[in-house]
Amino acid sequence: MQVTSVGHAGFHIQTKAGSVLCDPWVNPAYFASWFPFPDNTQLDWDALGACDYLYVSHLHRDHFDAENLRRHVNKDATVLLPDFPVDDLRKEFEELGFHNFLETTDSVKTSVPGLDLMIIALRSPADGPIGDSALVLDDGETVLFNMNDARPVDLDMVHTEFGDVDVHMLQFSGAIWYPMVYDLPERAKVAFGTQKRQRQMDRCRRYIEQVGAHHVIPSAGPPVFLDDDLRYLNDDHGNPANIFPDQTVFLEQMREHGQHQGILMIPGSTAEFAGAAEPTVKHAEDVDAIFADKAAYIEAFAQRQRPVIAAAKASWAPAEGEPLLGPLKELFEPLLVQADAICAGIGGPVVLELGAESVVIDFPAREVRALTDEKARYGFAIPPELVRTVLRDGITDWVNSIFLSTRFRAWRVGGYNEFLYTFFKCLTPERINYADGWFSEQHDDSADIVLDGWQVQKRCPHLKADLSRFGVIEGNTLTCQLHGWEFDLPSGRCLTSRGHELRATKLA
Ligand code: FES
């Protein structure tokens, strides 16, 4: 099996039974904020796009690059579709002209001639834009598990169905706006960033331990930020609080923890795998030229992309225009009516500062109105041109557009509120219904485990991770390493988000 990195979470996998192209991203995403790192524009995208199978793990724009798919990828390729609760991914493929689909069933092994495969579909509101996924491929010689940025809660079925995993690709770096966009004292920002940087690498190492693959390829990040306004986000100036460490940093962490199976792959690198045997890896570029002086590499990349960023900005809606209150009322209010669990979970008004205009989404009252003299727990200051652009273009997921752009400021009193971001990613009746139903559903959490002298419920109150695998106790705090949520053990209180109490008893 020959695996070629095409950048970020993207791979071209050549098997004896045909080629599979995964997550081919090359054009900037999220209001021209994110670019693949290292640069992958030099690849022969027509050749890569002449694939037999196409797999896009989810609809985030650093995975689903509509422009690249439209221009370069074979429309007769068979699209391997994850089993998502809403069919937005399929619809977007159809709009681009793809017409051959293999609809998979979540975590069920299936076959095409010469290849066994399985797609694990993650379907909670927190996973991607309602749906993220991971792909297992077996060509009879090599088992490959492309987890990209998905965070499966259970992995046992991978081993049950495929035995040992040979190659494991997964995310180790950041892909979020926290804590950088928050109005926080600098010291708090540094503390939160430092903690986040380490936690995401710890989580990745936990997954590596669990899967136990012979070879590991760190992938799915970090992005690089090339716009002058965002260059401070890159991990190129020795900031230990930066949440976007690169592959070389993580590979070093792996080695420090006795994990020696890591492989560095950058766009154009190829690796020939044959089961557990040591692969042959060839790089298309000089690795040292990229990582030895990363700041210089990014500077040169940014200069090359200046016209692209300028063109993207020129395509945005103007900042000035009709008041935004009317269109936002029209968009949000019908959704608020359907969102009982989400409105209750947010539990208060949220302020949107949009240039000269300020609007309140009053979740308890289910209405959108102009801001009066009031305080709110949560607030966002968003450039109005971004809001006008998503409204103009009918974009129904503000996480997958505005928030991931990092081109905004946020503030809050208290912890993270997952209901709030879920609301902003579900701006259609179908999505909001699904998410609200998901939150309303009762999950079984009756089983307990014993961990470091505490009896605690086995499944994390967030998304049901098995705490015997992902739980770490330090002092009186339990951290679930799947998403880094913390719980105060004596009180059971979730320290990260509203609600979500953990059952815990100190053992004598
Ligand atoms: S499952 Fe998300 S923090 Fe535990």
pLDDT digits (tens, 9 = 90+) for 238-288: 999 999 999 999 999 999 999 999 999 999 999 999 999 999 999 999 999
What global pTM score does this model have?
0.90
Q: At residue 441, does pLDDT exceed 80?
A: no
The amino acid occupying position 46 is D
Residue 125 Cα to ligand 1 middle (Å): 13
d(CA 457, CA 459): 6
> Which atom of ligand 1 is nearest to 484's Cα?
3
Residue 476 Cα to ligand 1 middle (Å): 18
List % helix, strand, coil for the chain (3-state, nearest 5). 30, 25, 45
Residue 50 Cα to ligand 1 middle (Å): 39
Q: Region 87-110: what's the mean pLDDT?
A: 96
pLDDT given for residue 498 in this prediction = 76
pLDDT digits (tens, 9 = 90+) for 248-260: 999 999 999 999 9
Residue 452 Cα to ligand 1 middle (Å): 19
* DSSP state letter for 317: P
Ligand 1: residue of 207, 421, 422, 480 to mutate (most ligand atoms within 8 A of CB) is: 480
- Only one residue has tokens 């053990």, namely 489
pLDDT given for residue 254 in this prediction = 98
Ligand 1: residue of 416, 456, 457, 462 to mutate (most ligand atoms within 8 A of CB) is: 462
> Which atom of ligand 1 is nearest to 460's Cα?
4
Q: Region 186-199: what's the mean pLDDT?
A: 96
- CA dihedral defined by 266, 272, 275, 277, rounded to 10 degrees? -90
> Which atom of ligand 1 is nearest to 483's Cα?
3
Q: Whose CA is nearest to atom 2 of ligand 1?
A: 483
Residue 480 Cα to ligand 1 middle (Å): 5
Phi and psi at 401, nearest 5°, equal: -150, -75
Per DSSP, helices labelled H in 322-474 are: 325-337, 340-346, 384-392, 404-405, 418-425, 429-440, 467-470
- pLDDT-derived band at 444 (thresholds 50, 70, 90) equals low
The rounded percent of the chain whose pLDDT value lies above 70 is 99
